Amino acid sequence: MSLKHAILVLLDKEPRSGYNLLKEFKNSLGYFWNASHQQIYQQLKRLSDEGLIDCDIQQQDGKPDKKNYSITPYGHQHLQEWVNQEVKPNKVNDALLVKLFAGHLCPTEHLETELKRHQDIHRNTLDKLLKIEKRYQQLSSTQQEHYKLPYLTLRRGILGEQAWLAWVDEAIKAIKK
Amino acid sequence: MSLKHAILVLLDKEPRSGYNLLKEFKNSLGYFWNASHQQIYQQLKRLSDEGLIDCDIQQQDGKPDKKNYSITPYGHQHLQEWVNQEVKPNKVNDALLVKLFAGHLCPTEHLETELKRHQDIHRNTLDKLLKIEKRYQQLSSTQQEHYKLPYLTLRRGILGEQAWLAWVDEAIKAIKK
DNA sequence: TTTTGCATGTAAAGGGTTACATGATTAC
DNA sequence: GTAATCATGTAACCCTTTACATGCAAAA
């Protein structure tokens, strides 16, 4: 639903290519919005068709053309209207929990290794987020003020991952018994 | 991806109608898998076409026919194979955070009321989950052992909601400053 | 020499949302 | 009388995933 708006916010800050958007999703937005390159390129086409963004093609030698997208006044207005509307709370759909719920159909060892595998992934994610937080804390207070809102989204990522890890500890212990 | 498997797990425990599945999704599975009635009826048709479930039609006077679905041996096998495979970690896509990220485009008051609106919803969810937990804790220890895995999914819901609420407190304070 | 990074796409299939559609019964 | 519960579906649209497709440059 909001890939559209996530892209618009980024283009509202500065014009970028699809590839650059992809990098942003992997880095700064990854802890609250994820998108594949296919999704991004398709969405850019649609946004362009709707007149919400413009495209400026830069030729590069050797490399394929680089398409630089920027938000139009209409797109900016659209974004602003969206921000002022109510957002639906997120729907929870977690396949790992479906699996746990059906865990009587497989050996306990499998559940345990699977939980540990996910634990590794989440520990990794948390590490990355904490490193980003450290960088934020080293900024001047005016800079911190400037990045206040993105920092809150980072905090959500951190608290979410910590809670997930606390849960998986509980879960692994409970399964072993 | 796993609506299919969520339905199969439920039908593996006992045969049900689409309507009954919907209720289960609203109650016991709602904190880790959500589905609308349209999705469920469509999925039931597909699962039936694939031979994973069977349908037994019960006539009722006055009411429309009730379709009672049950899992087939092939469906059970399919489910078992799925449980033994690796599951991908969940993708995070949170529209509220996209909005916060774009929060400079709207009045601070709007952000605050929006966060508080979501806070109410999450508090409500947590309350419900804690009530279910209380019921679990009053069971005998053999019963508790029996419901161990579903209880772990409940715990995930509780820890997740608590972390969310802790975050929103932080966020509201930070925005007010 | 193999992988990572740059840089872009199409097509088909599957999953999810929104809107439309019906109709009886029961509880307040 | 009005809302909730029971009980089922179709159709259009949109979003997401998976697979296919290309090709250069730089670093390891």
Q: Per-residue pLDDT for B64 more than 70?
A: no
Given a contact cutoff of 8 angstroms between Cβ atoms, the answer to whether A95 and B3 are in contact is no
How many H helices and E strands in chain B? 8, 2
For residue B89, give the amino acid letter: P
d(Cα B66, Cα B85) in Å, to the nearest integer?
A: 34
Nearest nucleotide over every DNA/RNA strand to the A38 CA, judged by C1': C9
Nearest nucleotide over every DNA/RNA strand to the A88 CA, judged by C1': C17
Q: Per-residue pLDDT for A75 more than 60?
A: yes
Mean of pLDDT values over B72-94: 95
The values of phi and psi at residue A169, to 5°, are -60, -50
- CA nearest to A156 within chain B: B167
Kindly state the percentage of chain A with pLDDT values over 90: 91
Question: What pLDDT is attached to residue B1?
Answer: 75
Distance between the alpha carbon (CA) of B146 and the C1' atom of D14, Å: 42
Please name the residue that has the structure tokens 């400053």: B177
Kindly state the percentage of chain B with pLDDT values over 70: 97
d(Cα A33, Cα B117) in Å, to the nearest integer?
A: 21
Q: Per-residue pLDDT for A60 more than 70?
A: no
- Quick check: helix, strand or coil at residue B66? strand
Q: Per-residue pLDDT for B8 more than 60?
A: yes
Nucleic strand D near CB of residue B156 (< 7 Å): no
What's the pLDDT band for B27 if we cut at 50, 70, 90? confident
**For chain A, what is the radius of gyration of the CA atoms?**
20
Report the mean per-residue pLDDT for chain A: 94
Per-position b or e across A6-18, b if 16+ CB within 10 A of its CB:
bbbbbbbeebbbb
What's the pLDDT band for B61 if we cut at 50, 70, 90? low
pLDDT digits (tens, 9 = 90+) for B112-143: 999 999 999 999 999 999 999 999 999 999 99
pLDDT digits (tens, 9 = 90+) for A145-169: 999 999 999 999 999 999 999 999 9
Question: What pLDDT is attached to residue A64?
Answer: 67
Nucleotides of C under 7 A from a protein CB: 6-11, 15-20, 22-25
The values of phi and psi at residue B134, to 5°, are -60, -45
Q: Per-residue pLDDT for B108 more than 80?
A: yes
Strands A66-71 and B66-71, bridge-based pairing:
unpaired
**For chain B, what is the radius of gyration of the CA atoms?**
20
Distance between the alpha carbon (CA) of A84 and the C1' atom of D1, Å: 38
Given a contact cutoff of 8 angstroms between Cβ atoms, the answer to whether A22 and A69 are in contact is no
d(Cα A133, Cα B78) in Å, to the nearest integer?
A: 44
Q: Per-residue pLDDT for A98 more than 80?
A: yes
Q: What is the distance in angstroms between the Cα of B28 and the nearest Cα belonging to chain A?
A: 11
Nucleic strand D near CB of residue B34 (< 7 Å): no
What's the pLDDT band for A127 if we cut at 50, 70, 90? very high
Question: What pLDDT is attached to residue B158?
Answer: 98
Nucleic strand D near CB of residue A89 (< 7 Å): no
> Which parts of A57-147 fold into alpha helices (H)?
73-83, 95-101, 108-137, 141-146
Question: What pLDDT is attached to residue B63?
Answer: 62
Distance between first and last Cα of chain B: 42
Given a contact cutoff of 8 angstroms between Cβ atoms, the answer to whether A157 and B176 are in contact is no
Question: What pLDDT is attached to residue B66?
Answer: 83
- Give the Cα-Cα-Cα angle A121, A127, A132 (nearest 5 degrees): 130
d(Cα B122, Cα A172) in Å, to the nearest integer?
A: 26
Given a contact cutoff of 8 angstroms between Cβ atoms, the answer to whether B20 and B41 are in contact is no
Q: Per-residue pLDDT for B144 more than 70?
A: yes
CB-based contacts of A168-173 (< 8 A; 24+ apart in sequence): A168/A115, A168/A118, A168/A119, A168/A122, A170/B152, A170/B155, A170/B159, A171/A100, A171/A115, A171/B152, A171/B155, A171/B156, A172/A112, A172/A115, A172/A116, A172/A119
Given a contact cutoff of 8 angstroms between Cβ atoms, the answer to whether B163 and A163 are in contact is yes
Which residue in the set B2, B31, B97 is minimally distant from A32, CB to CB?
B97
On chain B, the residues whose CB falls within 8 A of the CB of A163 are: 159-160, 162-163
Question: What pLDDT is attached to residue A66?
Answer: 85
Q: What is the distance in angstroms between the Cα of B89 and the nearest Cα belonging to chain A?
A: 7
pLDDT digits (tens, 9 = 90+) for A7-54: 999 999 999 999 999 999 998 899 899 999 999 999 999 999 999 999
pLDDT digits (tens, 9 = 90+) for B147-158: 999 999 999 999
Given a contact cutoff of 8 angstroms between Cβ atoms, the answer to whether A16 and A141 are in contact is no
Answer yes or no: do A84 and B106 touch at CB < 8 A. yes
What's the pLDDT band for A62 if we cut at 50, 70, 90? low
